[in-house]
Amino acid sequence: MQLNKIESNYLKKEVFRNDTITFSNLENIEFEACIFENITFSNLNMQNITFKTCEFKNCIWDNVEVFKCNFFNSKLVNVSFNETKLSKTTFDDSLLLIIDVIDCNMKECSFKISKIDDLRIKGSNLSYIDFYNSKVDSLELYDNKCQEVYLYSSRVGLIKGDIKTMRGFYMSMEQILDLVTKIGINLHE
């Protein structure tokens, strides 16, 4: 099936491969157990979309506005968000591996009970982002502006990048001590 020819508000077990999606609007649709492979979403507005148990492999969101979208129990592998605006979007109980967020605006987004590994964020604005009870194995941050990014309820592994980018992050004391130790600072009472 081609995404450019969607005629239903509910799609189940559909496979989308090797396509570029350039709708002006894609809204009020639920995808369940669908596979998206080598898909480029470009110059598109996505609103009120639910992705339930979907898989995204080698996909690109390029200059897309994502508003009130839900990724529930979904798997995203090798996915890039470029110059994309994500607002009020939730990744709930999902697996995110090798994710690039470049020159994006993220506002009021949450990662709930998700497993995240190799998340790289560069040149982006992050506001009111919550990593709620998630496991973040590797997080790389460069040249970002952050306001109220909540990590304190999550397990965080390796954090790399520009320490100034972490201004605006909320972390637990345990996370801060772990981070300080990882960068080679020895604390004494």
Cα(119)–Cα(137) distance, integer angstroms:
9
In 113-146, which positions are buried (b, 16+ CB within 10 angstroms) versus exposed (e)?
bbbbbbbbbbebebbbbbbbebebebbbbeebeb
Are 2 and 21 spatial neighbours (Cβ–Cβ below 8 Å)?
Answer: no
Q: Residue 2: pLDDT above 80?
A: no
pTM here is 0.90
SS (H, E, C) 35-75: EEEEEEEEEEEEEEEEEECCEEECCEEEEEEEECCEEECCE
133, 139, 145, 146: CA torsion to nearest 10: 10
Kindly list the distances between the CA atom of residue 139 and the CA atoms of 22, 27, 42, in Å, as whole numbers in the listed order: 30, 31, 26
pLDDT in tens, 19-64: 887 767 889 999 999 999 999 999 999 999 999 999 999 999 999 9
What are all long-range contacts of 96-102, with beta carbons under 8 Å and residues at least 24 apart? none
Of 89, 127, 140, 84, residue with least CA distance to 111: 89
Q: Residue 5: pLDDT above 70?
A: no
What pLDDT is attached to residue 152? Answer: 85
Q: What is the CATH architecture assignment of 3-182?
A: 3 Solenoid (2.160)
Give the mean model confidence (pLDDT) for residues 115-138: 96
